Amino acid sequence: MIPPEWSVCVVARSAAQTQAVGAAIAAVVAPGDVVLLSGELGAGKTVLTKGLVAALGGGEATTSPTFTLCHVYPTTPPIAHVDCYRVAPTDDLADLALDELLEDGAVVVVEWGERVRGLFGAEALECVLSAPALGADGNGLDEDERLVVLRGAGAAWSARRGDLYAALAASGLVPADAGEGGAAP
Ligand SMILES: Nc1ncnc2c1ncn2[C@@H]1O[C@H](COP(=O)(O)OP(=O)(O)OP(=O)(O)O)[C@@H](O)[C@H]1O
Ligand SMILES: [Mg+2]
């Protein structure tokens, strides 16, 4: 059976709004979840994670764990924030024992998550951030604007679309259904 999935997209017009997307995700995550973040350098993956960590009670500043590879925040549930920009997926990630963290009830949040997609099961929340103004010709575009496409894959996420929609809307964002494959409407 093909696992159910859905896609929701939202435009974040500032870093604060991308943090609000993270906070909305915080409202729907559960222990053992995997959240995969994709998007080029500076797209806002860490900013989104910061909103997620803060909403779950994390007091410390959130930075890209680019050199540490993984940082576990003492949130509820704990968040293991992983950055795969520089890792050789099979070797380095095995050392992080993410399976154990997930079994122990952490939420694993992975920057450059598309690079290690195969290491996780079918069930994940995939967040793709794109920044039009970071492209080759950003003339006339708002450099603070990001499109965030959220794709819930697998049974664990199938029932959470409505709650995520509501949490995004409660933050003043305007969620919309994304087309098949996560394209913008
Ligand atoms: N709408 C927005 N959402 C997120 N960040 C924004 C937005 N507008 C401007 N920014 C700025 O873009 C930058 C995003 O940086 P961030 O570290 O989150 O990117 P990243 O995707 O984690 O990059 P890296 O791959 O280098 O880790 C920040 O400086 C932030 O202030
Ligand atoms: Mg980052």
Task: Report the alpha-carbon distance of residue 44 to residue 67 in Å, rounded.
Answer: 18
Who's near 137: CB < 8 A, 6+ residues apart?
Answer: none
Report CA(4)–ligand 1 centroid distance (Å): 30
How far, in Å, CA of 95 to CA of 142, rounded?
40
Domains of the chain: 5-176 (3.40.50.300)
Starting from the CA of residue 133, give the closest ligand: 1
Between 95 and 77, name the one with better pLDDT. 77
pLDDT confidence of residue 180: 53
Lowest mean pLDDT among 147-151, 154-158, 179-183: 179-183
pLDDT in tens, 2-43: 557 899 999 999 999 999 999 999 999 999 999 999 999 999
Q: Are 85 and 58 in contact (CB under 8 A)?
A: no
Q: Higher confidence at residue 70 or residue 17? A: 17
**Residues lining ligand 1, CB < 6 A?**
12, 14-15, 17-18, 39, 41-47, 64, 85, 111, 144, 146
At residue 182, the pLDDT reads: 42
Its sign, for the CA torsion 92, 93, 94, 98, is positive
What is the number of helices (H) and of strands (E) in the chain? 6, 8
Average pLDDT over residues 62-76: 85
The pLDDT confidence band at residue 185, using thresholds 50, 70 and 90, is very low
- The answer to whether 12 and 51 have CB atoms below 8 angstroms apart is no
How far does residue 129's CA lie from ligand 1's centre (Å)? 10
Q: What is the mean pLDDT of the chain?
A: 88
Q: Beginning with the edge strand found earlier in the chain, give each strand of the sheet holding 146-153 in spatial order.
A: 70-73, 79-83, 107-111, 34-38, 124-130, 146-153, 5-12, 176-177
68 has a pLDDT exceeding 90? no
Instruction: Indicate if the pLDDT at residue 134 is higher than 80.
Output: no
Between the CA of 45 and the centroid of ligand 1 the distance, in Å, is 6
Q: What are 73-83's pLDDT values in tens digits?
A: 999 999 999 99
CA 147-115-184 angle, 5° bins: 20
- Tell me which residue of 122, 145, 121 sits closest to 135, measured CA to CA: 145
Nearest ligand atom owner, CA of 18: 1
Question: Bigger pLDDT: 162 or 121?
Answer: 162
